[in-house]
Structure 1
């Protein structure tokens, strides 16, 4: 049996260091309207005290590389959640990159073979990859996959929109992202 291809090693620290922090990323936005939407979403999102406390008490740094571009609706919806989390947890460090900036990184995080953003890559304090998230919550990704399978992506997107509407506080996203933060901050298995 042939061996699978070995992907080149990624220098995650170099990728992280090349990224922009949120204010610089936002300032570089292609669209002033999208920038305003991102900021409005971020400002409107309040974390529950327990969530903020958990993030404030992280035992060690967690690095997140966010592959995100402001033109994308899912980026506008989900980046503010990640940013609010980073604001609540000083040990949660986030840097933003584009697909074009690091194509060899992005190609590892395709969604069902397609390009979709945002993608959040969670790294430990030693820049070891611990998990990834995106471009939407798991249940929504499943709906889109089912829509593709049965040839009705439009109906799947309507269901995803309804889920988004029903979860205005982004609890599903927060729960999934907090799980990945917890893994990346782990001190033991």
Structure 2
């Protein structure tokens, strides 16, 4: 049996270093309206004390490469969560890149073969890839996959919208991102 193709290694530190911090990324937004909405959601989001406490005491740096572009509704919805978490934890460091900036990185994180953002790639303090998230919570990705399987994506999207409306604190997203942060911060556990 032939061996599968080996993908080239990614210099995650270089990718991270090439990204923008939140303020610079937001100020370069294509849509002023979307940028205002992202910022309004970030300001309005309050993390629960347990999540904030966990983030405040991260023992080592966790780096996150966020593939995000302001035109996307899921970016508008989920970047504020990641950014609020980074503000709560000085060791949670985030940099934003576009799909075009690093196409060799983005192609590795397609969703069911399609281009979907945001994608958050979690890296350890040594820039080792530990997991990724996106473009939406796991349960919502499953709803969309089921909708595609039965030929009714419109109904699935409606259900996803209803889930988003019910979870105004974005707790589902916070929980999934905290889990990946915990993995990336692991120290031999």
Q: Displacement, 1:2?
A: 1.2
- 1:71-86 map, 5 Å: 71-86=71-86
TM-score, normalising length: structure 2: 0.99
Structure-to-structure mapping, 1:22-171, within 5 angstroms: 22-171=22-171
- Matched residue, 2:5: 5
> Within 1, Cα distance between the matches of 2:175 and 2:140?
14
CA displacement at 1:50 relative to structure 2? 1.3
Cα deviations across residues 135-175 of structure 1 (Å, max 9, x unaligned)? 00000000000111111100000000000001000000000
Where structure 2 has 5 or more consecutive residues not aligned to the other structure, the ranges are none
Aligned mates of 1:83, 1:162 — CA distance in 2: 24
Q: Distance in 2 between matches of 1:141 and 1:50?
A: 26
Separation in structure 2 between the aligned mates of residue 27 and residue 147 of structure 1, nearest angstrom: 36
- Measured in 2, the distance between the counterparts of 1:154 and 1:53 equals 39
Residue 40 of structure 1, CA deviation: 0.6
Task: Quote the RMSD (CA, aligned, Å).
Answer: 0.4
The normalised TM-score by structure 1 is 0.99
Q: In the comparison of the two structures, how many residue pairs are matched? A: 189
SS for the counterpart of 1:113 is coil
- In structure 2, the partner of 1:186 is 186
Cross-structure match for 1:172: 172
Q: Using the alignment, how far apart are the partners of 2:36 and 2:24 within structure 1?
A: 14
CA shift digits 1:122-146 (9 cap, x unpaired): 0000000000000000000000001
